[in-house]
Amino acid sequence: MQTVLYLSVAVLTFAVTALLGRWLIPELHKLKFGQTIREVGPKWHKNKQGTPTMGGIMFILGIALAMIACLPVFYALGVEETFLMKVRVFAGLGMAVAFGAIGFMDDYIGIVKKRNLGLTEKQKLVLQFAVAIAYFASLGLSGDSTATLIPFVGQVDLGFFYYILAAILLVGLVNAVNFTDGIDGLDSTVSFFAFLGMALCAGALSMTGLSALGVAAAAGCLGFLVWNWHPAKVFMGDTGSLFLGGMVGALAFGMDLPILLLPVGLVYWAEILSVVLQVSYFKATHGKRLFKMSPIHHHFEMCGWSEMKICGVFGLVSLLGSAVAFLCVLFGV
Contact present, 265 and 173 (Cβ < 8 Å): yes
Binding-site residue numbers for Mg(2+) are 178, 238
Rounded to whole angstroms, the Cα distance separating 221 from 18 reads 10
**Considering only CA atoms, which of 50, 69, 56, 78 is closest in space to residue 11?**
69
| CA distances to 46, 275, 288, 303 from 292, in Å | 18, 11, 10, 8
- Would you say 208 and 214 are in contact if contact means Cβ atoms under 8 Å apart? no
Strand partners, 66: none
The residues, any chain, with a CB within 8 Å of residue 7's CB and separated by 6 or more, are none
Q: Is the peptide bond before 295 cis (omega within 30 degrees of 0)?
A: yes
Q: State the Cα–Cα distance between residues 170 and 249, nearest whole angstrom.
A: 6
**28-64 burial: b if 16+ Cβ within 10 Å, else e:** beeeebbbebeeeebeebeebeebbbbbbbbbbbbbb
Q: Three-class SS of residue 211?
A: helix
* Residue numbering of the annotated binding site: 178, 238
Listed in sequence order, the residues at least 6 apart from 137 whose beta carbon sits closer than 8 Å to its beta carbon are: none
Query: 103: Cβ–Cβ under 8 A, 6 or more apart, which residues?
Result: 56, 178, 237, 238, 239, 240, 241, 242, 243
Do residues 64 and 219 make contact, with C-beta atoms less than 8 angstroms apart? no
For residue 148, the cross-strand partners are 156
Which stretches of the chain are DSSP H helices? 2-30, 56-76, 83-112, 121-141, 160-180, 186-204, 208-228, 237-254, 261-264, 266-284, 296-302, 307-330
